[in-house]
Structure 1
Amino acid sequence: MPTLLLDQQIPIYSLESQGAAGAFFQLNRADGRQPAFRQNMLQPHRKDYYHLVYVQRGGSRHWVDMTPYELKENALYFSAPGQLQLKEKLQPMWGVSLAFTREFLARQPNAALAQLPLLLNPQNGHELLLAPADVAFVEDLLARLEAEYQRPGEWQQAMLSAHLTVLLTYLSRLYTEQFPGDEPSADQLLLRKYRTRIEEHFRERHEVGAYAALLHISAGHLSEVVKAQSGKPAIAHIQERLVLEARRLLFHTPQSVKEIAYDLGFADASYFSRFFKRETGLTPAEYRASNREMYP
């Protein structure tokens, strides 16, 4: 399993400006050739944008947050900003890659677009399998998006937004079919907001009360709702997010335990080690060693 060198940090890739929409929205068609930038994907990295890849055929295994995925034909793969990813090797692939930023979504007149299930991803999915009818629909929409992407002008932004809204809505319907869940209640929405705030602030805020203040509610009410909706104490969600990030760094980087502890807001590396062992059953060093043996 590829890891970073001692003097490397996990890179965060942004969209490079390419025309009017390029800094916020990009579309690329893969035709079996290897773009130079894909070499960067062979090392652990993050993206600061949403990424959708429709695979017609080809490709190789890649990883998202320590989970491997073998690319399938006529499938769609999606990831959100901040997830830790890498490819094992560069193999020819045919399909379409679509990328857009949070800023692009913020520009949309439909503010609910960012709340679609595919983008919220409450079930932590990454792969959608497409039936023949889905393939036809998705390929048609991607072709329309590609045509607009190659046609800069006054109406480009509006047309890209319109087609993207239809695509994300359609894929969100598939998401709810393949990752079943009920329509969210007010309390479920609060749980989502709580998880979103944790995602934004887990490095510097480790207490439930700090998130209650961000959400303008009492800590008691937040704890009650979160426990009722998730079956877990509110503090457990913070702890799980810290453990996830610690696992990412231990798995993909050579950072020392002390460096990881400080990165995650722990003032004491020994306390972090005790916390990690309590949550996982292994010390950070044991976790790193066991995974390096499993995925050399």
Structure 2
Amino acid sequence: MILDYTIKMKKKHAEKIKTYSPSGFREKFLGEDNPIHLLFKSNSDHFFCLEIEEIMQMQHPVPPSKHSCHTLIFISSGQHVMKLGHQEYITTDNEMIMVPAGQIFSLENVNNIHKGFICQFHPDILIRKYGSRELLNEFDFLKISGNPKVSLPQEDIGSIVNILERLKKEYSETAFTDLNIVQSYLITLFYEMNKYAVKTAKGISAAEVITAKFKELIHDHVKSQHQVNYYSSLLSVTPNHLNKCVKTVTGKSAVKWIDENILLEAKYLLFQTTLSVGEIATRVGFEDQSYFSRFFKKAEGISPIRYRKMIDKS
């Protein structure tokens, strides 16, 4: 009876996803009818794993957004284009991409994906019975500053698909998901991915190490700290040295990185919350709303209010 109910609810959720339309998109995204929220069995597990074609039926772009869960996407056929922060990633056949929890992302089009899997899981799942924070440091793709894409050789695709199928089965065919089983399979999957992941922690220059740490610090502090000297002091380098490292590695100054991350955070709040512009200004570290509005308009070409209205009409 419980299993029948679970399957029935899955079908109901799938139908809601298929009929999800752009009309009133922001309101639906913020509400209980958000199709991703509907996929979680409960507020405590925060896990699902399904084939992409079962849920990727939305026909609209997604403005800057973020989630409290990690999201893993495996493309076995087709193409997926996503922005993580300011960087655009194209994921195609036999490639995986990880969106770390808290990373701001946006989607332009999801209609070119033909086959694959999407798996979403809360970070707490990874530090349960069999895990630790030290263990997770081995997986660069889980970090904000890490390389999120992994390209897999053809001979390993079968092993990856088997793990994802097992995760899907645990989610779809059981009334109550055993998160210890989920954790075990996820860690196994990560070690398989790690064989082919592009590492950023070893064999790189000092400038690249500083830049990676700078990116992590911006993610943690940009809502309250906008000055380069704040970050340089945390990294025990001078502001000039930090700026030189970041410019050498990324082609953009440290100030530009800070400003772009403030803008991304503001866009996320304008889209994914009902906070007023004044409240959003405070959330991203501006005491003066008018100064925040000028900052936003200079960067984006329109005011925060017009940006929100533009999303509502899209």
With normalisation by structure 2, the TM-score equals: 0.61
Q: Deviations over 1:103-152 (max 9, x none)?
A: 22333136241452211253665x54444223223113324545666689
Deviates more, 1:144-153 or 1:71-80: 144-153
Among candidates 292, 298, 309, match of residue 272 of structure 1? 292
Structure 2 counterpart of 1:47: 67
Correspondence 1:198 to 2:198: no
Query: Contact 1:208 / 1:235 at 8 angstroms: preserved in 2?
Result: yes
The structure-2 alpha-carbon separation of the partners of 1:106 and 1:192, relative to structure 1 and needing over 3 Å to count, comes to farther
The structure-2 alpha-carbon separation of the partners of 1:137 and 1:42, relative to structure 1 and needing over 3 Å to count, comes to same
Among candidates 135, 160, 163, match of residue 138 of structure 1? 160
Structure 2 counterpart of 1:230: 246
Give me the CA root mean square deviation: 5.1
Code of the residue aligned with 1:16 in structure 2: it is F
Task: Give the alignment of 1:180-219 within 5 angstroms.
Answer: 183-184=203-204, 188-189=208-209, 191-208=211-228, 210-211=230-231, 215=234
- Between the aligned residues of both structures, percent identity stands at 23
Deviates more, 1:65-74 or 1:168-177: 65-74
The structure-2 alpha-carbon separation of the partners of 1:78 and 1:186, relative to structure 1 and needing over 3 Å to count, comes to same
The structural deviation recorded for 1:46 is: 2.9
The structure-2 alpha-carbon separation of the partners of 1:4 and 1:272, relative to structure 1 and needing over 3 Å to count, comes to farther
Code of the residue aligned with 2:120 in structure 1: it is A
Gaps of 5+ in 2: 1-20
SS at match of 1:51: strand
Structure 2 counterpart of 1:16: 40
With normalisation by structure 1, the TM-score equals: 0.64
Aligned mates of 1:234, 1:92 — CA distance in 2: 35
Structure 1 counterpart of 2:14: none
The structure-2 alpha-carbon separation of the partners of 1:41 and 1:183, relative to structure 1 and needing over 3 Å to count, comes to farther
Query: Contact 1:28 / 1:96 at 8 angstroms: preserved in 2?
Result: yes
Structure 2 counterpart of 1:102: 123
Code of the residue aligned with 1:284 in structure 2: it is I
The structural deviation recorded for 1:27 is: 4.0
The structure-2 alpha-carbon separation of the partners of 1:69 and 1:255, relative to structure 1 and needing over 3 Å to count, comes to farther
Code of the residue aligned with 1:138 in structure 2: it is I
Structure 2 counterpart of 1:119: 142
Code of the residue aligned with 2:216 in structure 1: it is T
Code of the residue aligned with 1:271 in structure 2: it is Y
Q: Deviations over 1:22-48 (max 9, x none)?
A: 615x3423284459xx76997655321
The structure-2 alpha-carbon separation of the partners of 1:192 and 1:269, relative to structure 1 and needing over 3 Å to count, comes to same
Among candidates 278, 284, 287, match of residue 302 of structure 2? 284
Aligned mates of 2:27, 2:167 — CA distance in 1: 40
Aligned mates of 1:67, 1:190 — CA distance in 2: 19
Aligned mates of 1:31, 1:47 — CA distance in 2: 18
Query: Contact 1:66 / 1:248 at 8 angstroms: preserved in 2?
Result: no
Structure 2 counterpart of 1:169: 191
The structure-2 alpha-carbon separation of the partners of 1:284 and 1:258, relative to structure 1 and needing over 3 Å to count, comes to farther
Code of the residue aligned with 1:196 in structure 2: it is E
Structure 2 counterpart of 1:30: 51
Query: Contact 2:82 / 2:105 at 8 angstroms: preserved in 1?
Result: no
Gaps of 5+ in 1: none
Code of the residue aligned with 1:142 in structure 2: it is L
The structure-2 alpha-carbon separation of the partners of 1:87 and 1:33, relative to structure 1 and needing over 3 Å to count, comes to farther
The structural deviation recorded for 1:90 is: 7.5
Code of the residue aligned with 1:244 in structure 2: it is L
Query: Contact 1:246 / 1:260 at 8 angstroms: preserved in 2?
Result: yes
SS at match of 1:47: coil
Aligned mates of 1:255, 1:103 — CA distance in 2: 28
Deviates more, 1:140-149 or 1:99-108: 140-149
Aligned mates of 1:173, 1:212 — CA distance in 2: 33
Q: Deviations over 1:267-288 (max 9, x none)?
A: 223323444466x4x54349x7
Query: Contact 1:3 / 1:254 at 8 angstroms: preserved in 2?
Result: no
The structural deviation recorded for 1:237 is: 3.5
Query: Contact 1:54 / 1:96 at 8 angstroms: preserved in 2?
Result: yes
Code of the residue aligned with 1:265 in structure 2: it is G
SS at match of 1:98: strand
Aligned mates of 1:72, 1:190 — CA distance in 2: 31
SS at match of 1:103: helix
Aligned mates of 1:259, 1:27 — CA distance in 2: 33
